[in-house]
Structure formats: structure tokens, C-alpha cells
Amino acid sequence: MADYSKDDVVQLIKRFGAFLTVKISNLFRSMDTKSVGALAGLALAIVFTWRLLRSPSGTQRRRPKRQAAPSSSSGASSHTNATITTSVVNPSSDDSRAQNVIDEFFQPVKPTLGQIVRQKLSEGRKVTCQLLGVILEETTPEELQKQVTVRSSVLEVLLEITKYCDLYLMERVLDDESEKKVLLALEDAGVFTSGGLVKDKVLFCSTENGRISFVRQLEPDWHIDINPDIVTQLARFIKYQLHISPTKPERMAANVFNSPSLEQFFGCV
């Protein structure tokens, strides 16, 4: 490993400070509270190191001048000059090395799924969500009479939502047997194991208007649904809505978002 003098360290700190001021604003956007605290500690350490290097005790002593050796021949003199020249550190090489170190240190921090969920939901605390076509593979109440399949790709997002939001699931069913099948499928998929969602928060109704009534009574920050008519009717009552559909309708209210699936809305696909 190369032996760097204090001057080299000072120059590296100067370059580090310059790049720090440029990149700090972008870094804060993707950092949580713990990361910000760590960065503040690092900045403090740099300040103390800088003061130490600039203090009288940290300054370099003047080196004695190198005595000229007796010139025995022109060849020996040329060899000495070449050795001294090659021992000088290349400034451009230093800059490149410092740039590489700083770029590596300031690689963008990838947000966690929990951070994405909170950001996408605008810190909403209550969410209502339709089951058919969003949580379940089936898209009609008639299909629920035969089988109920929980979409495995949505489970991670669903469980993450329950950590930060009061989540209610709801669906229209044609009979009591369909209700039992839905609850059993959700239980087998582990939806109730996190503690954030309980069976009492899975609501069933016999009509689409019943789902509208549920949503309006609960007054959520977000409602998620596949039915464009219901989304349209609720647009003026609910702060935000997510319409799950492979195609985006031409006319939707400004507070309605569209995504092919719940997991794609949170960037999990």
C-alpha cells in the first residue's frame, strides 16, 4: 500500500468536501433517519480530522535540504533525476482515485419495500382493497364458488401494507361457502400471521353497492379496486384510489392512479 503524506490526506479531504456538497441533496432523498445520523457522524469525524491536520502539532516539519552528491558522471546524475521524478505523485491520478472512492461511497441507497409503500401511499394510514383481481387470481364471484387462489406475487406487498396501514379487504360473494373458501385461502397463504390483518377486517357483501357502502363508512385514505364504475363513484369521497387494470381508462379523476397490478404499482415486478 502506498505511503501517503499528510499533504496528500489534506488534499483528499478537500476533494471529498467538494464532492460532498454536490451530492448531499440527492443522498438525503433516499436515506432514512439512521442513515442520516450515520452521515452526520461521518461529517463530524471529517471536521475533527481536518482541524487536527491544520493544528500546529499536525503540521509537517521542514525537511532538510538534500545534499548534492558528488557528480561522478553525467549518467549517475541523470539516473538520480529520473528516480526523483518518478517518485512524485501524479496529481491527475490522485484526482481520479479520489473520484472513484467518493463515487463508490455515494452509490444511491436502494429504498426498502417498506419505504416505497409509505412513499407511494403518501403516508396514508387506512386502506381498503377489493379481493378479486387484486389479491386473488379469480375475477368474478362465480369463480369463487369453485376455487380461491391467492396471488403469490402480491403477498410481500400486502404484508408490508399491513405493517403501516389499517387494511380492510372486501368482496362481493354469492354464498356463505364462498366466504369460507376466501378466508381459508387467505389463512393458508399466511396473510393473518403478521398480526396486521385479522379475519374481522375481511368484509363480504352481496352487491357492488355494498362495497361502495363499506368504503364510504370506513373513510380510507386509499381504496384499491378493479371496477372503474366504483372508482368513479368514490372519486369525490376518497382522497386517493388505485384502479387495477391492464389498460388505463381515458377519463379518470386526478386522484385516481392506474396500474396493471398491486405489486407493479410498488415496483415489485
Cα–Cα distance, 179 to 183 (Å, whole number): 6
Assess whether pLDDT exceeds 90 at residue 86: no
113-120 vs 155-164: helix crossing angle, rounded to 10: 70
Contact call for residues 128 and 218 (beta carbons, < 8 A): yes
Report the predicted TM-score, pTM, of the whole model to 2 decimal places. 0.62
H or E element at residue 130: strand 126-130
Instruction: Say what the alpha-carbon torsion angle 229, 206, 139, 237 is, to the nearest 10 degrees.
Output: 30
Which of 258, 230, 234 lies closest to 246, judged by CA?
Answer: 258
For residue 65, the one-letter residue type is K
136 strand-pairing partners: 132, 150
Q: Which of 15-19, 47-51, 78-82 has the highest mean pLDDT?
A: 15-19
Cα–Cα distance, 39 to 122 (Å, whole number): 26
171 strand-pairing partners: 204
Average pLDDT over residues 61-67: 52
User: 205-249, pLDDT tens digit by residue?
Assistant: 999 999 999 999 999 999 999 999 999 999 999 999 999 999 888
User: 105-145, pLDDT tens digit by residue?
Assistant: 566 678 888 899 888 998 889 999 999 999 999 999 999 99
Sign of CA dihedral 46, 49, 51, 53: negative
Which numeric CATH code is attached to 113-265?
Answer: 3.40.50.1000
The domain spans of the chain are 6-59+73-105, 113-265
Query: What is the full DSSP assignment across 61-101?
Result: PPPPPPPPPP---HHHHHHHHHHHHHHSPPHHHHHHHHHHH
- 202-205 β-sheet, strand order: 202-205, 166-172, 126-130, 222-225, 240-244, 256-259
Contact call for residues 195 and 227 (beta carbons, < 8 A): no
Cell of 165: 396501514
Percentage with pLDDT > 90 across the chain:
48
Q: Give the other-Cβ count within 10 Å of 5's Cβ.
A: 10
User: 7-42, pLDDT tens digit by residue?
Assistant: 766 677 777 666 666 565 555 555 555 555 656 666
Cα–Cα distance, 101 to 233 (Å, whole number): 55
